[in-house]
Structure 1
Amino acid sequence: MSPTTLNAPNRLLSIDQLRGYAIFGMILVNSKGMFGVKIEQLSHFKDHFTYADTIAPIFMFVVGISMRLSWLRRSEVTGITATRIAMVKRFTTLVLIAFVIYMGWLWDALMDIGLAGLLAVMFIDKSPKVRAIAACSMALLYQALVSFTVYGPWIMRTGDLTDENLPYLFKWIPYQSTLFDVRINGGPFGPLSWCFILLLGTIAYDIMKSNDRQRIVTYCLSLGIGLCAAGWALSMPWGDVKPLWPITAYHMTLPFPLWSTGLCFLTLLAFYFLCDVGGIRIPTFTSVSMNALFIYIVQCVISETEAPKEIITKSFEWIQKPLVESNPSLDVPLGICGILAYYGLLAALAYVLHRKKIYIKV
């Protein structure tokens, strides 16, 4: 989806490394169950923010960065219409893949990336101001749906969608149990909120491509701190105006996209100093980033398919059980080692693909 040209924007190491870090984080969070790791910070909660909640926003943020980069590269070669059609096809493909992988757990990363990407396609060529307005409008629309319709009580888990309170539009949609029984990442309207993060990622690329250190530091710091402050302020109860809005991916209300996008800008700035300024390259992250979505899909298939998941779990238990029985304190360290070994195998696959210059664009 991103053919190179002589006039293509320079590739930034920090962006590749950040994308690789996001995949590492997703594998860390998604595979913990296979290795019996029970650490609160690696799980999602309905009432507070954890490390696990930072990862999907970073990945969505980097999707926005890549989307803007891809647009600038490809539109010069094939034109605006052809590029927009190609992007629609790509994000539609992700939605279809998500339907296959996530049946019974539909509203997860690939689905949200696909739908948020489709929402963002119409704005990708606009000015940063227009993209920022579009991002805020979508986040506000989602908040309005939560605050003023029956969707709010359902997504907040204070009520269920039943035949009596199901919106008329929803009654005409098939597969209601699959679409509406899963309550994470904002459910079927969650992509509106996720699109805020993606569109802010497109703006991040506009900042980064300048290669102006003062501009990058100023904008990333101000947007990072400002968005975090806004998210925290909106999460607090305002007397009789509004109750506490937890910063959580379960709800996806305004505090979450604001707070998490602020962290995305600050994390991007950290990688900018580490990689682009300091010249430090974290092993495996760059090669993993070259086939990021493919590696993510592979680990999803493994973790969601009974046979390979059971093979990994049973094999690990065979190694872990005798060691833990003699020394229970080894339980968590061994689990972490198992996750890192699992990541290492996926990273090795990514490395081989990278060395052979095989880039699978999903």
Structure 2
Amino acid sequence: MSSSSLKPARIASLDQFRGYTVAGMFLVNFLGGFTNCPQVLKHSHNYLSYADTIMPHFLFAVGFAFRLTFGRRISSAGVGAAYRKVVTRFLGLMLVAIAVYGSGRAAESWEELQHIGVWGALYSPMKREWFQTLMHIALTAIWITPVIRSSAGVRIAYLFGSAALHVLLSHSFNFEWCSTSPNVIDGGPIGVLTWSIPALLGTLTCDAVAGAEGRPNLVKMFAWSIVVMGIGWLMTCGTRLYDVTESQIAEREQDAKMQKYLTDEINGRIAPLNKELGEVGKAIAGLRAQLDGMSLAVEQVTDPEEREKLNQELEAALEKDSELRNKIDVIKQEFQAYRDGTEVFISKQLEVKAKLGEINAKLNGSKTVDKVVDEKQRAKLTAQKEALIQEDAAAAAGLEELKANPQDPNAPQVRVFRDSKLAIDPVFPSQARIDALKARFDEQGWRAIVAEPPFVYPPHTKPGVGKRSVMLREWNYWMVSQRQGTLSYTVIAGGMSIFLYAIFYIACDIWGLRLGLFTTFGTNALFAYALHPLTGGAVKAFMPRDVATWYMWLGFTVFMLFTWLFVRVLEKNNIYIKL
């Protein structure tokens, strides 16, 4: 079915669904930073909370509306003009995103800006600050534009292709890159690949609703939503490959202590240099002010001898500035190996253990491997086993040596003390993990491989969800993570979007129900989104992070009323901010 065949009438449920999504975003964005905010309303990066369901609803609504309106645009403007208009509008939304999100100051002085260069200045905003909701909406819409008029089969194939590409890129570099400082927020630059999943599901739902003769088949819609959510949940079961055993916890706690030591050490060495660097920067600014008359407080120097003296002082200050920056860079490079983490020795141990598992299975027999009875073959396998045990011992010794001497300049450039919560094989698990899961399955049955359902926090060794609690599962690609934009996350959330939209269709388009709050926010969503940080900031100025629960909810009520009044005034005057 082409997009031009879709019904042109406005669908009330879409506006109400969009308004609900905006209101939900206001809820989690406002409350998320308070101590007494329920965990389910916070982004936790390693399971599906209510907060994590909001952004996929945005992308679902974008895909639905895009599919619904593009045919009209072609009918009125022609194919070429329609595509140009769409791309132009979403490029404009990208500029709006940059303006709305902004970024921190790239450098505190001209010298520092010259030192870090263009890429150094753009690295953080391009990785983190700019790539939030509006930027992902714009890029995702552009990404799906080539297939927006295509058949359902083509769009589904495009969805699978985007998902596969995200898996491969995550394995290649992206999972690790997203987890290093500065962390990404919503999947980073390649998050568009998985954000396209709820968007494309939105286009398919649009076909079911706007292309139906009479009412859509809601039973089929609910059924498909459950199927999609089920597929996503089955993906999350892959996280059980990354369970941490009790015997590994003490080692991880020791590694965490070492990481803290190294972080404190590097910060302690850099802090005085940064202080001295600030003083040198002030001296440089003062000298330049005297030389060039750049300050109202000093007059331009005209005496040649005095100018020469100031020039020499300025040159010495610039040299000092460069020397301090180089010292800081050396310290950072010295500790980079330890702060970022790598897997040279650890991955070697995993590889060895996997081979040992295979040999032991052949020597001793298992459910899947017959026991070796040939004596020559047994002797050969035994010799291989002994060699592997020695390799394992050597890797363990090397690991312990690096831990004991983290500042040894002659030590190999190996990053051992990686973030202990991150798996070293996050996308495609090692054979050792697979063997361990098989062993747990033999012992525990299905309980060993079934993951928690959505909205249930992963297990910890300590009660609560505090940052100091030790997780019993390493972070990996198959968990639900909005930070990473993982495949399981967008698939589950996309299925939830279909399910929730079907409820809205029943309530709004069949029963005729409307909620004024959702109407106001849903028809002016861009303005409401851009406004809410300002109104939220005004209210939060009177709310410390540890306010009482009742005060927190009172503040949220004031914020919602404040924001709604602004958007309602525009609605009453028929003013709608759109691209």
Q: CA deviation at 1:335?
A: 1.4
Alignment-mate amino acid for residue 28 of structure 2: V
Distance 2:232 2:499 in 1: 14
Instruction: Indicate if the aligned counterparts of 2:524 and 2:577 stay in contact, CA closer than 8 A.
Output: yes
Structure 1 segment 85-234 matched on structure 2, within 5 A: 85-102=84-101, 103=103, 104=125, 105-147=129-171, 149-155=172-178, 157=179, 160=180, 181-210=182-211, 215-234=216-235
Gaps of 5+ in 2: 1-5, 104-124, 242-353, 355-427, 434-475
Alignment-mate amino acid for residue 139 of structure 2: L
Q: CA deviation at 1:181?
A: 2.5
Mean alpha-carbon deviation: is it higher for 341-350 or for 116-125? 341-350
Instruction: Give deviations 1:39-86, integer Å, cap 9, x for gaps.
Output: 211111121110001100001100111111220221111111111111
Q: CA deviation at 1:154?
A: 2.6
With over 3 angstroms needed to count, the CA separation of the structure-2 counterparts of 1:341 and 1:212, relative to structure 1, is farther
**Equivalent of 1:353 in 529, 547, 570:** 570
Gaps of 5+ in 1: 1-6, 161-179, 304-308, 325-330
Q: CA deviation at 1:8?
A: 6.2
Distance 2:88 2:535 in 1: 26
TM-score normalised by structure 2 residue count? 0.51
Distance 1:291 1:80 in 2: 27
With over 3 angstroms needed to count, the CA separation of the structure-2 counterparts of 1:182 and 1:152, relative to structure 1, is closer
Mean alpha-carbon deviation: is it higher for 183-192 or for 97-106? 97-106
Instruction: Indicate if the aligned counterparts of 1:8 and 1:72 stay in contact, CA closer than 8 A.
Output: no
Instruction: Indicate if the aligned counterparts of 1:200 and 1:261 stay in contact, CA closer than 8 A.
Output: yes
TM-score normalised by structure 1 residue count? 0.80
Q: Give RMSD over aligned pairs.
A: 2.5
Q: CA deviation at 1:333?
A: 2.9
Matched residue, 1:177? none
2:496 is equivalent to residue 263 of structure 1: yes
**Equivalent of 2:520 in 256, 263, 287:** 287
Distance 2:75 2:95 in 1: 29
Q: CA deviation at 1:301?
A: 5.1
With over 3 angstroms needed to count, the CA separation of the structure-2 counterparts of 1:136 and 1:184, relative to structure 1, is same
Matched residue, 2:272? none
SS at 2:483 equivalent: coil
Q: CA deviation at 1:334?
A: 2.7
Matched residue, 1:249? 482
Instruction: Give deviations 1:286-310, integer Å, cap 9, x for gaps.
Output: 121111112111224555xxxxx2x
The number of aligned residues is 317
Instruction: Indicate if the aligned counterparts of 1:107 and 1:184 stay in contact, CA closer than 8 A.
Output: yes
With over 3 angstroms needed to count, the CA separation of the structure-2 counterparts of 1:227 and 1:101, relative to structure 1, is same
With over 3 angstroms needed to count, the CA separation of the structure-2 counterparts of 1:97 and 1:214, relative to structure 1, is closer
Q: CA deviation at 1:25?
A: 0.8
Mean alpha-carbon deviation: is it higher for 11-20 or for 123-132? 123-132
Structure whose CA Rg is larger: 2
With over 3 angstroms needed to count, the CA separation of the structure-2 counterparts of 1:119 and 1:300, relative to structure 1, is farther
Distance 2:557 2:155 in 1: 38
Matched residue, 2:71? 72
Distance 2:493 2:218 in 1: 18
Distance 1:135 1:347 in 2: 36
Instruction: Indicate if the aligned counterparts of 2:147 and 2:154 stay in contact, CA closer than 8 A.
Output: yes
2:508 is equivalent to residue 275 of structure 1: yes
2:531 is equivalent to residue 314 of structure 1: no
Instruction: Give deviations 1:117-159, integer Å, cap 9, x for gaps.
Output: 1111121111122112112211221111112x1222233x3xx
Instruction: Indicate if the aligned counterparts of 1:49 and 1:247 stay in contact, CA closer than 8 A.
Output: yes
Q: CA deviation at 1:234?
A: 0.9
Instruction: Indicate if the aligned counterparts of 1:35 and 1:338 stay in contact, CA closer than 8 A.
Output: no
Alignment-mate amino acid for residue 312 of structure 1: V
SS at 1:130 equivalent: helix
Instruction: Indicate if the aligned counterparts of 1:19 and 1:292 stay in contact, CA closer than 8 A.
Output: yes
